[in-house]
Structure 1
Amino acid sequence: MDLFDLNQTTDHQPLAERMRPQTLDQYFGQSHILGQGKVLRKIIETDKVTSMILQGPPSSGKTSLAYIISQSTKADFVRLNAVSLTVAELRETIQTARDNQKMYGKKTIVMIDEIHAMKSNVQMALLPSVEEGIITLIGLTTESIAHDLIPPLVSRCRTFTLKALDYNDLKEIILRALQSDKGLANKFVMTDEALEYLVDICNGDVRSAFNALEMAAFSLYEGNVIELQHIREAYDSRVNSITTSDFYDIVSAFCKSLRGSQTDSALYWLARMLDSGVDPLYIVRRLVVHSSEDVGMANPNALQIAIAAQQTVEFVGMPEGRLALAHATVYICESPKSNSVYKGLAKAFEMVRNHRAYPVPENIRDSSKSYVNPIDNPNSKMQYLPPEIENQRFYFPQNSGTEAKIFARHQEREKKE
């Protein structure tokens, strides 16, 4: 038995379950997809639900929306969980749906929770029945659809992206929980300071807010006033977990902050990643990349600092290793920038891939007898590039940091030529 089997709530259920909306009118947020006149609202109200994927952060209302659909549809509603789902179990569900469709003309909606965890072979087994309309799929995921689901399955479903609840929605939901007979039934009051803190600290996670509210309420020894310290005690730490989708966005923000020399921003995103359990070696790999890609010849020491951070993380471990990550982050941000190395290599790759493989000039081949060491003979003339591209330039130094000296030397050489 699960929440889809229950028609009424009990005091034994957590506050989050007791307050779960029963209808669309009780559902908060997601007006961009559920507002009056929106497609998703229409197909739910008219019981014309088609295969869809509900993607969004934790506690944004995916499961509640699926529950509302289960209560309003005349179709058979089957709930599965991708974590434990096998091909055999899925085929049995599909066969039952096929029989019901043939014998009774009845539609079957299959909701798959955590669909991102479904193995690719199970996704492939699901594909034909979705395509044929044997089942209507509702997939729920907190993760990135692009990275975790096979494209053919995604293409056969409409994707609806749910957003984290905003400040006003969260505040209204918490107040309703305090007042509702299904919630705390006006047995407790909450100070404005505690309410503001709870709305902020839950980070859009309603379930987390409800858990903290209930814990704070029932931990009172006397009185019925929930104050700031009660909420603080109920929270061990701010909720900063990262889904796959958030992960790529936060990594992108970190990388762009490094490139843009935004030290404070880079440190913030670094702290977000570390606090959420991102592998520090993954972070340091990004630092190593940016030390060459964005700083490059403007400050060659940046690469050494990044490699030192990598060695520190491996040698010292965490949490002390995070200081080395911050050290490298600040150094890269505050360094002058040059992407001439990145551009030079890109131009060389473009030449290699778009032209035939030119032979190595004879005077620099491994077996060459005409090679002259330019260090001992600075005025010697050697052929280093194939004759067909001997005038091609790939590296253009930028007038930045240490590379400014190379830039000046190249400028002087060009004047002489």
Structure 2
Amino acid sequence: MSETLFDAAGDEAAKGQEPLAVRMRPRTLDEVVGQGHLLGEGSPLRRLVEDDAPMSVFLWGPPGTGKTTLATVVSRVTKRRFVELSAVNAGVKDVRAVVDEAKRRMGMNGTRTLLFVDEVHRFNKTQQDALLPAVENRWVSFIGATTENPFFSVVSPLLSRSLLLSLESLDDTDVRTLVDRALTDERGLDGRYTLTEEGADHLVRLAGGDGRRSLTYLEAAALVSGPPVARQQPSTDASGAVVPSAREAVRITADHVERAVDRHAVRYDRSGDQHYDVISAFIKSMRGSDADAALHYLARMVEAGEDPRFIARRLIVHASEDVGMADPSALQTAIAAAHAVELIGMPEARINLAQAVIHISLAPKSNAVIAAIDEAMADVRAGRAGPVPAHLRDAHYKGAADLGHGKGYRYAHDYPGGVAPQRHAPDGLTDREYYRPTQHGTERRLTEVLNKIKGVLRGGGN
């Protein structure tokens, strides 16, 4: 258990001894990067802070999105006594001790306590139940941080008494803002280091939306790059005091980041040539039935931080364009992978994407579907779009029968095999054949089916 009463002296004493991510924690809500949906004017969290009201809040989100930061900022802003427990090593005895002390202080001098429980989903039911009286009677203001869905990991009575706020992964712009601030802020690297553009891109990609990770990696890369070099010898001023020498800022490169994190920088520009070259090779590898090559290009895109939804969309397209009716289940697999991306996100969804890539790569190939629709559209664009045959026109409205609409229509279900001998195409297009099955996979069987159907249809007289 840790207890903190924030003051300037305490902050100054700890300065420089803590990890960069801790030193750079925001001091006010306005310094928090990301989570605009929670911190905008009039938002619940801002109102709770600005009104200094008692609160019980669950902060739910991925690692490094600011859960601990928000709890700390709330405590600073509201001047509450801040007590932090980790559900990893705290028990019921610890919870009750915090609550008893909070009640005592409130009774003695009106001091209010903010209890922050990190990894609260690790508390069992008994431990969570121990919090209920304190939350219900507002002996403490409670903030619980969790990376797990609270609806499955938190007891209903505690959840129903609390406000649930969902945090989102930081986007690339947010992470870059954190990194740039840490490079220049006196609490951070204080201008002693600069970061090359390629180094910044690699760092942002490795962070994966995790702000704490980005600063941890930046600090490690700074250590790898070495200390700033003095540009001149120290001197003394008129009183004889030593004047520190100016130092040349050290450039942190992508190579420094690679060495610090032991992750190779993937040369991949999501808006440049690499993007188009890699996705082209990815598609052509699946079309060429080379699953290993396709997986390699998938890995390059995933490692480079390509939007997984973009990858999923390409899989859906090519399940029809390159496989089509030769294996209709390929489209189902691609759509399922896209749903997995939305439901569970990365990095787990990489497995679902890989499954779809392998399925499409190894499936029998046919471009008959895309050839069919493109030929049909070409005819329409060329003006080959005759009137709908009278027997197929809508006959449900009053007066339709007088126009001959529906006359002679043959109901397919009344005929053997569910196929009626009649014409469906407009005049001038009765002999057009758009869909021409290959002899690959399922389409081998479809060729025979299609020929039988055409034989029946062409026997129709209307």
TM-score of the superposition, structure 2-length normalised?
0.52
Report the Cα offset of residue 195 of structure 1: 1.3
Write out aligned runs for 1:160-239 (5 A). 160-221=165-226, 224-237=250-263
Structure 1 residues 330 and 236, CA, compared in 2 at 3 Å: closer, same or farther? farther
Give secondary structure in 2 for the equivalent of 1:13. Answer: coil
CA contact (8 A) 2:61 2:146 kept: yes
Does the aligned pair in 1 maintain the 2:4–2:82 contact within 8 Å? no
Q: Which has the larger radius of gyration?
A: 2
Query: 3-state SS of the aligned residue for 1:84?
Result: coil
- Contact 1:77–1:110, Cα closer than 8 Å, also in 2: yes
Identify which of 32, 51, 69 aligns with 2:37: 32
Distance 1:229 1:7 in 2: 34
Q: 1:3 to 1:17 in 2, by over 3 A?
A: farther
Please tell me the residue identity of whatever aligns with 2:86. Answer: N
* Equivalent residues of 2:105, 2:111 under 8 A apart: yes
Q: Is the 8 A contact 2:207 2:214 kept in 1?
A: yes
- Give the match for residue 254 of structure 1: none
- Report the CA distance between 1:156 and its aligned residue: 0.9
Q: How does 1:274-313 map to 2 (within 5 A)?
A: none
Unaligned 5+ runs, structure 2: 230-247, 265-288, 304-325, 331-351, 366-440, 451-462
1:23 maps to which of 23, 28, 36: 28
The Cα of 1:2 is off from its aligned counterpart by 5.8
In the alignment, does 2:83 pair up with 1:78? yes
- For residues 442 and 155 of structure 2, the distance between their equivalents in structure 1, rounded to whole angstroms, comes to 46
- The answer as to whether partners of 1:267 and 1:326 remain within 8 angstroms in 2 is no
How far residue 70 of structure 1 moved from its aligned partner, in angstroms, is 1.6
Instruction: State the match for 2:113 in structure 1.
Output: 108
Q: Contact 2:3–2:82 at 8 Å: present in 1 too?
A: no
Using the size of structure 1 for normalisation, the TM-score is: 0.57
- Contact 2:183–2:189, Cα closer than 8 Å, also in 1: yes
- Could you say if the C-alpha distance between residues 128 and 3 of structure 1 is closer, same or farther in structure 2, counting changes exceeding 3 Å? closer
Q: Could you say what secondary structure the match of 1:7 adopts?
A: helix
Query: In structure 1, what is the equivalent of residue 94 of structure 2?
Result: 89
Identity of aligned pairs, percent?
A: 36
| Deviation of 1:99 (Å) | 3.1
Cα deviation code 1:308-333 (max 9, x no counterpart): xxxxxxxxxxxxxx9x9789866898
Q: 1:42 aligns to what?
A: 47
Distance 1:188 1:102, change over 3 A: closer
> What's the CA shift for 1:66?
0.8
CA distance in 2, matches of 1:330, 1:57: 32
How far did 1:18 drift? 1.4
Aligned to 1:7: 11
In the TM superposition, residue 78 of structure 1 has moved relative to its aligned partner by 1.8
Aligned-partner Cα distance in 1 for 2:355–2:55: 47
The separation in 2 between residues aligned to 1:18 and 1:84, in whole angstroms, is 24
Taking the aligned partners of 1:123 and 1:157, their CA distance within structure 2 comes to 13
- Which residue matches 1:135? 140
Cα distance change of structure 1 residues 331 and 121 upon mapping to structure 2, 3 Å threshold: farther
Q: Does the 8 Å CA contact 1:29/1:169 hold for their aligned counterparts? A: yes
Report if aligned partners of 2:2, 2:84 keep a CA contact under 8 Å in 1. no
Between 1 and 2, higher relative CO (CA 8 Å, sep ≥ 6) is seen in 1
Q: Which amino acid aligns with 1:199?
A: V
In 1, distance between residues paired with 2:357 and 2:41?
A: 51
CA gap 1:331/1:113 in 2 versus in 1, 3 angstroms? same
Equivalent residues, number: 289
**Once the two structures are superposed, what CA deviation does each residue of 1:180-224 show, in whole Å capped at 9, x if it has no partner?**
111111112221121122112211112221122122222225771
Structure 1 pair 108/211, CA: closer, same or farther in 2 (3 Å)? closer
Q: Cα gap change, 1:2/1:134 in structure 2, threshold over 3 Å: closer, same or farther?
A: closer
CA contact (8 A) 1:188 1:217 kept: yes
Following superposition, the deviation at residue 27 of structure 1 comes to 1.6
Cα deviation 1:147-179 (Å, max 9, x = unaligned): 211122111100111111122221121111111
Long gaps (5+) in structure 1: 239-262, 276-297, 303-321, 336-399, 409-417
Distance 1:88 1:130 in 2: 17
